[in-house]
Amino acid sequence: MHDLAPYAVSSANSRGRRFQDQAPSYRSEFQRDRDRIVHSTAFRRLEYKTQVFVNHEGDLFRTRLTHSIEVAQIARAVARSLRLNEDLAEAISLAHDLGHTPFGHAGQDALNGCMLQYGGFEHNLQSLRIVDVLEERYAEFDGLNLCFETREGIIKHCSLKNAAKLGDIGERFFNQTQPSLEAQICNLADEVAYNNHDVDDGLRSGLISLEQLQDVGLFARQWTEVKSLYPDLAGRRLVHEIVRRMINVLVCDLIETTASNIAASNPQSLAEARAVGPLVGFSAPMREAQQEMKRFLNRNLYQHYQVLRMTSKAQRIVSELFLAFLSDSRLLPPPYRDKADQARRVADYIAGMTDRYAMKEHRRLFAVGEI
């Protein structure tokens, strides 16, 4: 590992694990966290959980797995440039979507609606629940027994009511301190990845067009530059060239702005970095450019009638599965039958489903002739 800044997280200043665990022989503590996440069942399932487009709609659209890998790549690059802990940034990135339901945000909204009287459902909290409780891999503890800093980084935002249930992980929401700089990087790397790759997938699907995107400043500037350099470039090469340049512009701005913020604040330790306001961020013009792109995607892609049709079907599938399982727990696999907290166990079961498994389960329960 490269030389870390004094305000970076390291194995030496980590708050450790919940359960005593023998130190790794040839890895850092955060390399071990990353490896445990990659080998988890929940991580493998991300291959068949989608972002915007449902898994059966095409093999070329991004999934939660490819998205998580892309976030990790961006986060590692930023962390390395700022002398922060790359392994921690990668571990948080790879774990941040473990708790996502099938069918993306549509599935989460439906499951949250079903769970409102039982404490609600939020994918960040579910990701933490997976790594703390639900993964069953080790003889001596439930979950993956990850380091405090990895677990803390998974929780991007949280109500005070929910934070009160999280113990040490929820402390910062009460004392208004920040998570590690590595966790802050992951939050924005996530934003960079999904905005730009939703543009790519939206163009690939034909639901948005290059002509529409030329009204969006961030895209238009790269379009102009690419066309001036390569006037005959077209098709997928043109799209890829523009998207990769947009990512590069955003990442460079993020590194430069964050470096400037750190220099102005001059933290001398991890504790000092946590005590000041968020240090990782974009410049004001780049924040506005990002917001403009988000508004465009919301209006033209996420609200496109073809996406909304799938959203409607996805919400119906999740809601009907929840009601069926909650009304008769005998329909559930035995490990998910828990009368003491049946609604939460139903949520665990549904949230763990891939898109295609949720559709298959729905057919088994409701389609005549299916078993």
Kindly report, residue by residue over 71-90, the tens digit of the pLDDT: 999 999 999 999 999 999 99
pLDDT at 52 (0 to 100): 66
Indicate the range of 87-96, 161-170, 245-254, 272-281 predicted with least confidence: 161-170
Share of the chain above pLDDT 90, in %: 80
In sequence order, the β-bridge partners of residue 17 are 147
Pick the CATH number of 29-308 from 3.90.110.10, 2.40.50.140, 1.10.3210.10, 3.90.550.10: 1.10.3210.10
Cβ-contact 67, 60 below 8 angstroms: no
Report the C-alpha gap between 316 and 247 in whole angstroms.
35
Mean per-residue pLDDT over the chain, rounded: 92
Q: What is the pLDDT of residues 287-327, one digit of tens each?
A: 999 999 999 999 999 899 988 888 899 999 999 999 999 99
Q: What is the pLDDT of residues 325-363, one digit of tens each?
A: 999 999 999 989 887 899 999 999 999 999 999 999 999
pLDDT at 205 (0 to 100): 86
pLDDT at 179 (0 to 100): 95
Is residue 301 exposed (0-12), middle (13-18) or buried (19+ Cβ within 10 Å)?
A: buried
What number of other Cβ atoms are within 10 A of residue 356's Cβ? 14
Residue 57 has pLDDT above 60, yes or no: no
Average pLDDT over residues 231-255: 96
pLDDT at 369 (0 to 100): 67
Q: What is the pLDDT of residues 36-53, one digit of tens each?
A: 999 999 999 999 888 665
pLDDT at 108 (0 to 100): 92
- Choice between 370 and 214, residue whose per-residue pLDDT is larger: 214
Angle at 111 between CA 106 and CA 113, to 5 degrees: 95
Residue 97 has pLDDT above 90, yes or no: yes
Cβ-contact 243, 211 below 8 angstroms: no
What type of residue sits at position 192?
V
Q: What is the pLDDT of residues 193-239, one digit of tens each?
A: 999 999 998 998 899 999 999 999 999 999 999 999 999 999 999 99
CA atoms 167, 170, 175, 177: torsion sign: positive
pLDDT at 186 (0 to 100): 97
- When pLDDT is cut at 50, 70 and 90, the band that residue 159 belongs to is confident
Model confidence, pTM: 0.94
Domain boundaries, the chain: 29-308
Cβ-contact 92, 154 below 8 angstroms: yes
pLDDT at 370 (0 to 100): 63
Is residue 354 exposed (0-12), middle (13-18) or buried (19+ Cβ within 10 Å)?
A: buried
What number of other Cβ atoms are within 10 A of residue 137's Cβ? 13
pLDDT at 55 (0 to 100): 46
Residue 104 has pLDDT above 90, yes or no: no
pLDDT at 234 (0 to 100): 93
Report the C-alpha gap between 199 and 232 in whole angstroms.
21
